[in-house]
A = this chain, B = another copy of it.
């Protein structure tokens, strides 16, 4: 069963508002076994709305509209729907009662504009809007369902969850769709694809694998389509097991958690603590780690040693090493990590020093050169990485890579216990 979404509103076309509604609806529909095949975004423009509806009606049996239902002049969805269905507006007493109730709740009195929100196309069934004054509308025609909702996210979501999704799933929820996403780190998309080529070729027609790359990471999404939930779940689990085996080293999450969340859990279960010593990343690694609620249980703190003076004074980095090898060197990140670990009294310490760019690069150490150090019960070591030319991206990649080094360092302990 295919659905289409039509998002209406000038503010979406000029980028003033990001279309999060469509993403949310697509996800909910998919979880209810309904596949979204198209999303169209159009302005508050009669011709464009009409054209989108007729295009959608040719292709899909469920059409979901959002937006253009407000009381102001630029909102024209209702009159366009009347035109499309060759019908007129009727006055709906229940909607008026709801509008009156909401205004009373907010201690305001109704204006004529608000009253007009109770007008709906004669051929629709009204969907109650618990959160706002614009009613939802359900139309059936030529074997098609068209549903018009307000564009205000929380009003749309309440309507979808309370009325629309239950009804759609009751009527059409035959097919079964299962998605499963694995999060990987430390391997580029093309290398991962090469590893999984055979697996992908052997997949049955109703299972597909998608690669969703992000800086330093790739999400792998396995999607299965079928009719028998039990059989599909079993097939999916079998394929998933093979996939997990093939990419085990790189997978940090099978449940959607972020890398910093996964590493935080490893620290928690291994009863370990962490500190950081950051040069070029300037606090970004710390801010990632502390972005996770409860991180104070394992993260003690860190030093942003942006200047050489701070590296020496606060972290006891040897001035001769700075002189001889430079701040971006194995010797310095090793000292940064080892001394941070000692001074903060933590189980592990991570250190980062690199040339984020755009300036500061040389032939020997071009922009993107980053040394990452890790100190723990097994000792201290460092690794050199060559990222790219973009400052923000280099910082992001340095932090992700540091977290991944820590993940690998803790993993054996966790697995053993």
B73 in contact with A200 (CB, 8 Å): yes
A111 with B190, Cβ < 8 A, contacts A131-B390, A221-B11 known: yes
Cα–Cα, bound, A179→B11 (Å): 11
Task: Tell me, yes or no, whether A293 is within 8 Å of chain B by CB.
Answer: yes
Q: Which of A3-47 contact B (CB under 8 A)?
A: 10-20, 22-28, 30, 35-45
* The residue from B45, B282, B344 contacting A286, defined by CB atoms under 8 A apart: B282
Task: Tell me, yes or no, whether A241 is within 8 Å of chain B by CB.
Answer: no
Cα–Cα, bound, A17→B213 (Å): 11
Q: Which chain B residues border A102 with CB–CB below 8 Å?
A: 388
The distance from the CB of A252 to the nearest CB of chain B, in whole angstroms, is 17
A154 in contact with B391 (CB, 8 Å): no
A301 in contact with B314 (CB, 8 Å): yes
Q: Which chain B residues border A108 with CB–CB below 8 Å?
A: 188, 191
Q: Which chain B residues border A43 with CB–CB below 8 Å?
A: 37
Q: Which of A83-91, A302-310, A317-325 participates in binding chain B?
A: A302-310
The distance from the CB of A210 to the nearest CB of chain B, in whole angstroms, is 5
Task: Tell me, yes or no, whether A255 is within 8 Å of chain B by CB.
Answer: no
A113 in contact with B190 (CB, 8 Å): yes
* The residue from B20, B25, B48, B388 contacting A38, defined by CB atoms under 8 A apart: B48
Residue of B nearest to A3 (CB): B13
The distance from the CB of A11 to the nearest CB of chain B, in whole angstroms, is 5
Q: Which chain B residues border A55 with CB–CB below 8 Å?
A: 55
Q: Which of A155-207 contact B (CB under 8 A)?
A: 179, 181, 188-191, 193-194, 200
* The residue from B152, B284, B387 contacting A213, defined by CB atoms under 8 A apart: B152
Cα–Cα, bound, A74→B15 (Å): 28
Residue in A27, A213, A282 whose Cβ sees the most chain B Cβ within 10 Å: A282
Q: Which chain B residues border A250 with CB–CB below 8 Å?
A: none
A74 in contact with B190 (CB, 8 Å): no
Residue of B nearest to A309 (CB): B300
A243-282 contact mask (Cβ, 8 Å, vs B): 1 or 0? 0000000000000000000000000000000001010111
Q: Which chain B residues border A294 with CB–CB below 8 Å?
A: 359
Q: Which chain B residues border A16 with CB–CB below 8 Å?
A: 23, 27, 181, 210, 212, 219, 221
The distance from the CB of A401 to the nearest CB of chain B, in whole angstroms, is 12
A154 in contact with B13 (CB, 8 Å): no
The distance from the CB of A158 to the nearest CB of chain B, in whole angstroms, is 8
Task: Tell me, yes or no, whether A285 is within 8 Å of chain B by CB.
Answer: yes
A283 with B278, Cβ < 8 A, contacts A16-B27, A154-B393, A210-B10 known: yes
* The residue from B20, B39, B200, B282 contacting A291, defined by CB atoms under 8 A apart: B282
Cα–Cα, bound, A390→B129 (Å): 13
* The residue from B188, B190, B306 contacting A299, defined by CB atoms under 8 A apart: B306
The distance from the CB of A328 to the nearest CB of chain B, in whole angstroms, is 13
Residue of B nearest to A150 (CB): B213
Q: Which chain B residues border A114 with CB–CB below 8 Å?
A: 190
Cα–Cα, bound, A106→B114 (Å): 60
Q: Which chain B residues border A154 with CB–CB below 8 Å?
A: 390, 393
A41 with B39, Cβ < 8 A, contacts A19-B22, A283-B285 known: yes
Task: Tell me, yes or no, whether A380 is within 8 Å of chain B by CB.
Answer: no
The distance from the CB of A99 to the nearest CB of chain B, in whole angstroms, is 10
Q: 3 closest pairs, A vs B, by CB? A: A282-B290, A283-B286, A15-B27
Known: A154-B393, A293-B391, A302-B303. 19 other contacts (CB 8 A): A11-B210, A13-B36, A14-B36, A15-B23, A15-B24, A18-B18, A38-B41, A55-B55, A70-B213, A72-B189, A74-B209, A106-B188, A106-B387, A281-B290, A284-B286, A286-B287, A291-B391, A301-B307, A303-B303
